[in-house]
Amino acid sequence: MIDWKIQGEELANCNCNFGCPCQFGVLPTTGNCEAVVVYDIQTGHYGDTKLDGLRAAGVYYWPGPIHEGNGSMQLIIDDSASADQRAALESIMTGQETEEMATMWFVFSAMCPTKHETLSAPIELDWNREERTGKAKVGNIFNVEVGPIPNIVTGAPHRVSIQLPNGFEFRHAEMASGRAKTTAGELSMSFDSTHAHLAKLNLTGRGVAA
């Protein structure tokens, strides 16, 4: 197995209620699952290929819960990536060179028999995990914006975080409210005031690193 590691930040927005039922082993809010995710790689490698400073994204759709499969996915790789870097990120994000069930990328890929052609695009982002605010623009493919969950009575920012000691994606994430819309690509989706999270990633082919 090729040795790889990625450290960075993730911003995700899906169509479910705040908190995301998947994190609690509960079925999706509306029955299906769809999401956009953006990754900001601070440091990383895949064998001898350096991945520092790159960005990537994904658009995912499942007709039911993720674990039932039959999903579709499309990856987007930073247009500044070299051919070797692009191949490395495609391998990691499709669960290759990874122990079974060790990362969310392995699970997502295994549950998506339909894999649309990977796209190349500029990925712009500006987010703050602690403040639960931010936005990202992935070429002309999708836009996503997040902010704090509002208090149901006062509207003031309501802070919630999730700890997953045995998670395959992150150990800690800040919950947020998000809205996203795809404008190109093979998968069409749009949602507003739904679950979002911002998390620090520290992943290897064996799972979340300590």
Q: What is the pLDDT of residue 210?
A: 79
Is the torsion defined by CA of 65, 187, 205, 175 positive or negative?
Answer: negative
Report the mean per-residue pLDDT for the chain. 97
What pLDDT was estimated at residue 134?
Answer: 97
pTM: predicted TM-score of the whole model, two decimal places: 0.96
Mean pLDDT to the nearest integer, 22-51: 97
Distances (CA, A) of 32 to 21, 110, 189: 11, 17, 12
65-72: average pLDDT: 97
Give residue 24's pLDDT.
Answer: 93
Average pLDDT of the residues in 187-206: 98
Map out the domains of the chain with their CATH numbers: 4-208 (2.40.400)
Question: What's the rounded Cα separation, in Å, for the pair 9 and 37?
Answer: 11
d(CA 160, CA 17): 13
Residue 16's CB: how many other CB atoms inside 10 A?
22
Say how far apart CA 41 and CA 52 lie, in whole Å.
6
pLDDT in tens, 77-101: 999 999 999 999 999 999 999 999 9
Alpha helices, DSSP H only, in 114-203? none
pLDDT recorded at residue 143? 98
Query: Rounded to an integer, what distance in angstroms lies between the CA atom of residue 143 and that of residue 191?
Result: 11
Please tell me the predicted confidence (pLDDT) of residue 91: 98
